[in-house]
């Protein structure tokens, strides 16, 4: 009699205990992960999930209206199993553009990429694992569960060389073992990442591009002060090391030497006998008498 009053958890699920979804493509992976986790409880859960998942589509959402509009034959097929239900969502609701975009993101997935600047090695590993499962990037066994060896391979293929050397993931037989060793070596993995990132910044920033801006003279055309690639190569070939200010000064001089001044008829006759005291002729004619010598 006493055993009947022992506390216990009732292994029962109501439809409102199932994960809800509004059909948003950006949250589809998270929704699929939650559904897949429930299916792994075993028993008749995989079949019953396929039967009742639609009940938790957000009321009034587009995905709910889409479900109501499906032919009964398509609904019956999706209700047979949770994998059939998710496949129907991927193929018919989200469609090929979504699958292409997700595969592209999956291919470009890297540690601490844009939008994930604060993630840890463990969270990156988990992000890779969950995405691989939901995009069917790993093979599944007869029970529908992903094959452990394939999961590990999908993760370590995007690890850096230094991470692979430290983790030796090819010797690991499951994603659980992989996550355990990643968590254990978090400090060392972060240190290796920072060294590689610093080396990359040093390499890409060793040659600073010349600063570019525009200068307008006398309301006339805008004058570019940026050296051309050919000019920069000539300066480097001559062994000259110039900073940005010097480079801009040279650009100004080059431009000034190429300027063409139009001769405006002066009010007086040209006085060519008056010579400039400078070392070279002026860049343009006299504004008064149009002489080229002063």
**How many residues belong to the chain?**
294
Check residue 168 and give its pLDDT: 87
Give residue 216's pLDDT: 42
Q: For the beta carbon of residue 167, count every other beta carbon within 10 angstroms.
A: 22
Residue 209 neighbours by CB distance under 10 Å: 9
Please check whether residue 214 is in contact with residue 225, taking contact to mean a CB–CB distance below 8 angstroms: yes
For residue 79, what are the CA distances in angstroms to 18, 34, 67, 181, 290?
Answer: 15, 17, 12, 39, 93
Please tell me the predicted confidence (pLDDT) of residue 251: 58
**Angstrom distance (rounded) from CA 191 to CA 198:** 11
Residue 72 CA to residue 84 CA, distance in Å, equals 15
Per DSSP, the three-state class of 172 is coil
**Cα separation, 158 vs 162, whole angstroms:** 11
What does the domain layout of the chain look like in residue ranges?
10-108, 120-205, 214-258, 263-294
pLDDT of residue 142: 83
DSSP-assigned beta bridge partners for residue 223: 215
- Cα Rg of the chain (Å, integer): 35
Tokens 């001559």 locate to: 238
Q: Do 32 and 93 touch, CB atoms closer than 8 A? A: no
Neighbours of 287 (CB within 10 A): 10
Look up the pTM and report it.
0.61
Q: What pLDDT shows up at residue 136? A: 86
The reported pLDDT for the residue numbered 242 is 44
Average pLDDT for runs of 10 along the chain of length 294: 67 87 96 93 92 96 97 96 95 95 94 93 95 88 84 91 88 92 94 89 59 41 43 47 52 53 58 73 74 75
């Amino acid at each position: 009699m006493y055993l009947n009053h022992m506390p216990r958890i009732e292994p029962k699920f109501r439809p409102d205990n199932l994960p809800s979804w509004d059909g948003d493509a950006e949250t589809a992976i998270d929704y699929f992960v939650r559904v897949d986790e429930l299916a792994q409880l075993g028993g008749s859960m995989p079949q019953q999930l396929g039967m009742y998942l639609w009940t938790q589509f957000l009321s009034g959402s587009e995905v709910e209206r889409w479900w109501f509009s499906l032919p009964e034959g398509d609904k019956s097929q999706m209700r047979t199993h949770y994998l059939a239900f998710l496949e129907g969502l991927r193929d018919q609701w989200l469609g090929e553009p979504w699958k292409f975009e997700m595969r592209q993101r999956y291919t470009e997935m890297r540690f601490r990429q844009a939008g994930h600047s604060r993630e840890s090695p463990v969270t990156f590993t988990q992000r890779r694992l969950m995405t691989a499962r939901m995009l069917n990037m790993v093979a599944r066994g007869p029970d529908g569960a992903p094959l452990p060896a394939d999961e590990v391979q999908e993760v370590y293929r995007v690890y850096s060389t230094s991470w692979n050397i430290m983790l030796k993931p090819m010797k690991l037989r499951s994603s659980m073992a992989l996550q355990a060793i990643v968590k254990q070596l978090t400090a060392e993995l972060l240190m290796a990442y920072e060294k590689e990132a610093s080396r990359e910044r040093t390499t890409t920033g060793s040659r600073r591009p010349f600063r570019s801006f525009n200068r307008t003279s006398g309301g006339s055309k805008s004058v570019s002060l940026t050296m051309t690639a050919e000019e920069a190569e000539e300066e480097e070939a001559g062994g000259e090391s110039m900073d940005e200010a010097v480079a801009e000064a040279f650009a100004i001089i080059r431009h000034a030497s190429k300027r063409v001044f139009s001769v405006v008829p002066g009010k007086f006759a040209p006085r060519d006998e008056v010579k400039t005291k400078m070392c070279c002729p002026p860049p343009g004619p006299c504004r008064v008498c149009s002489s080229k010598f002063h």
